[in-house]
Amino acid sequence: MRRRFAVASFSLAVVLGCGTLPAAAAAPADTSRSALAADALAAPDVDVTKVQAHLSELSAIAGRNGGNRRSTTQGYRDSVAYVKGKLQAAGYTVTEQPCTSGCTSGAGPNLIAEWPRGDANNVYMFGAHLDGVSAGPGMNDNGSGSAALLENALTLAQQNPAMRNRVRFAWWTDEEQGLNGSKFYVRSLSSTQRSQIRAYYNFDMVASTNGGYFINHITSSAAAPMKAYWDSLGLRPEENTEGAGRSDDYPFEQAGIPTSGYAMGASARKTSAQAAKWGGTAGSAYDPCYHRSCDTLTNINTTGLNRAADGIAHTLWQQAVS
C-alpha cells in the first residue's frame, strides 16, 4: 500500500513482534453459513498452503535481488516472470503492459491475465500490486494480495467451470510510487472497455499480523459477496477507511467503475473495540512491519490470508461463474 504522508494518524507503530492474529469470535449461529453455502455456486476452498508457496517464491526472488521487489528492479521483473509463467501454464491469455507514461523511470510492466470464457461485455476484475518498497521483501505489502490472487486464478483454471461473465486478473507495477501502474491501465482503456468492467476488486495487505477485517465500500453492491463471506465467518468486517484513495482501486473508482476489496490494515492502530472483536493488540499498528525490512515471511497472518483467499473465490464464483 502506498503511504499517505499527510495523515498523522497513519504513523508507524513500534514493532511488537510478528505472530498470528487470534481468530475472531465465532459466528452466533450456522444459519448464515448455510444460506451462504446455498448461494455459493460451489466456490472452491483455496488451499492456503499453495498461497504460502507463492509467497515463499516471492521472498526468494527478493533475496536474490538485493532484498526487495521495487518496481524498477530485477526483483520486480523476476516476480512478473514467476506469476506470468504460472498463469500461462494454466491456460491464461497473459499480457505484459509496459507503463509508457506516468510511471517511475525503469518501472516494470503491469501483468494482465484474462480467463478466455464468459461474456466479454461483462468483466469482473481482480487486482493486486506486485511491487514493494526498497526497505524489504514486501511479503504482506503486497506479496499477500498478489499470492492470494495468483492461487485464485490457478484454482479457477483447474476447476474450469462454465462461465457466465468474464474474469480478468491484474498485478500492478509502481503502486508504491503513486498508484502509477493502475492509473496507466485505466487511462489506456477506451470508453467502451471501461463500461465493460462491472466491478474491480483490490487486494492490498491481506495478512497483517495485528490486522482487522476491512472491506472497501462495504455497503456497496460490489462489496456484497465479499461482505457476505466474511459475515458467514462471524468476522463483522468494517469499512476500510485507512486505505481510502491509497491503493489501486482508486483509479478505477475515479473512472466511475464500482470497486471493493479486502484489506487487513497498515500503519494505523487497532482500537480497543477492534481488539475485543478480532483479537490482537489495541494501540498497536495493524502491520508493525509496514514498509520495513521485517516485512518478511514471518510477518504473515496465515488465518487472515486464508480467509481473504477464500473470500476472493466466493466473490469470483458469485459474480462470474454460471
CA distances from 3 to 147, 185, 228 (A): 21, 21, 29
Q: What is the pLDDT of residue 3?
A: 63
* Cβ contact 127:171 at 8 Å: yes
pLDDT category, 4, cuts 50, 70, 90?
A: low
DSSP-derived 3-state class of residue 289: coil
Q: Which of 57, 114, 175, 242 is catalytic?
A: 175
Q: What is the pLDDT of residue 30?
A: 39
d(CA 129, CA 55): 14
The DSSP symbol for 29 reads: -
Q: What is the pLDDT of residue 42?
A: 81
CA atoms within 13 A on the CB side of 160: 4
126 beta partners: 169, 201
pLDDT at 15 over 70: no
DSSP-derived 3-state class of residue 127: strand
Would residue 175 show up in a list of annotated catalytic residues for this protein? yes
Lowest mean pLDDT among 17-21, 66-70, 156-160, 204-208: 17-21
CA distances from 117 to 32, 44, 92, 126, 257 (A): 31, 18, 10, 16, 22
Amino acid at 116: P
Mean pLDDT across the chain: 91
The strand pair at 119-129 and 259-263 is best described as unpaired
CA distances from 31 to 36, 37, 226, 322 (A): 9, 10, 18, 25
More confident site: 318 or 2: 318
d(CA 173, CA 249): 13
d(CA 277, CA 51): 26
Q: Let me know the angle formed at the C-alpha of 45 by 44 and 46, rounded to the nearest 5 degrees.
A: 105
Instruction: Identify which of 134, 69, 138 has the alpha carbon closest to the alpha carbon of residue 287.
Output: 138
CA distances from 132 to 78, 93, 292 (A): 13, 25, 10
DSSP secondary structure string for all residues of 267-282: SSBPPHHHHHHH-S-T
Q: What is the pLDDT of residue 41?
A: 57
Judge residue 245's burial from the number of C-beta atoms within 10 Å of its C-beta, 0-12 exposed, 13-18 middle, 19 or more buried: exposed
Residues 6+ apart with CB under 8 A from 241: 214
In residues, how long is the chain?
322
Judge residue 238's burial from the number of C-beta atoms within 10 Å of its C-beta, 0-12 exposed, 13-18 middle, 19 or more buried: middle
pTM: 0.90
For the stretch 27-70, pLDDT in tens is 333 334 444 544 445 899 999 999 999 999 999 999 999 999 99
